[in-house]
Amino acid sequence: MLPYKRQDIPAQKFMTRIYAAPMEGITGYIYRKEHASHFGGCDRYFMPFIDPKDHASLMKKEKKDIAPENNTGIPVVPQILTNRADRFLTTARMLEDLGYGELNLNLGCPSGTVVSRGKGSGFLTSPDRLRAFFEKIFDGLADSSLLLSVKTRLGMKSPEEMAALMEIYNDYPISELIIHARVREDYYKHPVRLEAFQEALSVSRHPICYNGDLLDFEAVERFRKRFPQVDRLMLGRGMIAEPGLPLQLAEKGPDQAWKAKPMDYLALQDFMEDLCDRYEAEIGNNALFKMKEIWTYMLPRFEVPGPMKKKLIKSRRLSDYRIQARALFFEAISA
C-alpha cells in the first residue's frame, strides 16, 4: 500500500494547489522522485498515461512507473488512456489494489497515433460514445472509493465543442476537471484560448484545474490576476524548464507580493547531477538522451554563450555530457 492515499481537500482562500503535468518520456518515476526530493512544491504528480491493451495488460515501463515502491511518499496520480470501459475498469481495480486513491482519465493527448485510435483528444469527437463510456465506468466503480479526475482539451477542432462536452462532464461525479485551454488541432503552438476556458469555468459543477502555457512565474501571475477563483494550476513545460517553480508558488503566502526569485543554479546543478546518476544506474548510457531532452526545456533560461549550449546538446557520450553540463553551470553561477 502507498503511504499516500489522496483525499480531496476543500478549497481555501489564498491556497493554490500546484500539480505536475504528465509528460511522456520525461516525468517518469525517476524524475518525480528526484524532483520531490530536491525541490517539491507539487501537491500532486500526475503520471504519464498508461495505455492498457487486451486484458488491461501493461508494458514493462508502465508497470515500473506505477509500482508502489517507486512512488513511496510522493503524491502521485496514475493516468489512463483508453476508450474501452472494460479496459479502464480492469486497470482501475488493479491500481486500487496497489493502493492508489485517485485516477485520471486522459482526454487531452493530441498525438496523431493516439487520436487516430479514438483515444485522448480523439475521444472528444464522439460525445455519445464518451457519455456511454462514463456511464459504464461510473457504474462499474459504484462500490469503490476511487476518485476519478479528467484531463481534457476544449475540443478537437473548435472551442465551441466544449459546451457539449461540459454537459457530459457535469452529469458525472468527476472529482476534478483539468482543462488544457487548447483544442487538439492547436497542439501546443496556438495561443491558449482563455475566453473558451472562462466559459467552461462558468458552467462547471466540478473543481477546475487550469493547464496551458504557465511557462514561468510571470505567466502564473497574469493568469491568477485574471482568474483569481481558480485555485488549482498544472505546470508542464514551465516546471521542466525551471524545476524550482512549483516551490516558489507553494511558498507564496496571502500577503506576499508576486515576485519571481532568481534561478538557484547550485540547487539545480545538484538536482541534475543526481538525476543523471539515477538514470545511468537504471538505463546506462541511454541516460544521455534523457538528460539532453530535459535540457532542451531548460537551456533558454540560461544566460550563457550559445556555443556552450550547443556543445552540451551535441554530446555523444555521457562522460562528455557531464563535462559540458558542469562547465555550463560554472558559467551560469559565475555570471
CATH of the domain at 224: 3.20.20.70
Q: Are residues 287 and 150 in the same domain?
A: no
pLDDT in tens, 246-294: 998 876 654 455 556 678 999 999 999 999 999 999 999 999 999 999 9
Q: Are residues 163 and 292 in the same domain?
A: no
Mean pLDDT of 43-47: 97
- Tell me, yes or no, whether 211 lies in a domain: yes
Q: Are residues 141 and 274 in the same domain?
A: no
Could you list the residue range(s) of the whole structural domain that residue 321 is in? Answer: 265-334
Q: Are residues 209 and 315 in the same domain?
A: no
Instruction: Name the pLDDT band for 12 (thresholds 50, 70, 90).
Output: very low
- Tell me, yes or no, whether 3 lies in a domain: no
- Cα–Cα distance, 208 to 197 (Å, whole number): 10
Query: What is the percent of the chain with per-residue pLDDT over 70, rounded to a whole number?
Result: 92
User: For residue 91, is pLDDT > 80?
Assistant: yes
Q: Are residues 217 and 292 in the same domain?
A: no
- Cα–Cα distance, 22 to 78 (Å, whole number): 9
pLDDT in tens, 212-248: 999 999 999 999 999 999 999 999 999 999 999 999 8
Q: Which three cell numbers stand for residue 80?
A: 489512463
Q: Are residues 166 and 58 in the same domain?
A: yes
Per-residue pLDDT, 335? 76
Alpha helices in 284-317 (DSSP H): 287-298, 306-313
User: Which of 251, 279, 296 is the C-terminal boundary of a domain?
Assistant: 251
- Sequence-separated (6 or more) residues with CB below 8 Å from residue 63: none
Angle, vertex CA 227, rays to CA 226 and CA 233, nearest 5: 120
Q: Are residues 221 and 293 in the same domain?
A: no
- Tell me, yes or no, whether 163 lies in a domain: yes
- Cα–Cα distance, 66 to 47 (Å, whole number): 8
- Find out whether 246 and 237 touch, Cβ atoms under 8 Å: no
* Cα separation of the two ends of the chain: 47
Q: Are residues 126 and 169 in the same domain?
A: yes
Per-residue pLDDT, 177? 98
Beta bridge partners of 310: none
Q: Which amino acid is at 241?
A: A
* Lowest-pLDDT range of 9-13, 197-201, 211-215: 9-13
Q: Are residues 103 and 213 in the same domain?
A: yes
- Tell me, yes or no, whether 7 lies in a domain: no
Q: Enter the pTM of the model.
A: 0.92
Q: Are residues 194 and 320 in the same domain?
A: no
Q: Are residues 152 and 208 in the same domain?
A: yes
Q: Which three cell numbers stand for residue 205?
A: 459543477
User: Which of 251, 275, 295 is the C-terminal boundary of a domain?
Assistant: 251
- Cα–Cα distance, 161 to 325 (Å, whole number): 46
Per-residue pLDDT, 57? 77
Q: Which amino acid is at 129?
A: R
- Tell me, yes or no, whether 257 lies in a domain: no
Q: Are residues 63 and 187 in the same domain?
A: yes
- Tell me, yes or no, whether 112 lies in a domain: yes
- Cα–Cα distance, 242 to 183 (Å, whole number): 26
User: Which of 251, 278, 312 is the C-terminal boundary of a domain?
Assistant: 251
User: For residue 3, is pLDDT > 90?
Assistant: no
Per-residue pLDDT, 120? 97
Count the domains in the chain: 2
- Give the 3-state secondary structure percentages of the chain, helix then strand then coil, rounded to 5: 50, 10, 40
- Sequence-separated (6 or more) residues with CB below 8 Å from residue 225: none
- Tell me, yes or no, whether 260 lies in a domain: no
User: For residue 44, is pLDDT > 70?
Assistant: yes
- Tell me, yes or no, whether 12 lies in a domain: no
Tell me which DSSP letter residue 123 carries. G
pLDDT in tens, 94-152: 999 999 999 999 999 999 999 999 999 999 999 999 999 999 999 999 999 999 999 99
Mean pLDDT of the chain, nearest integer = 92
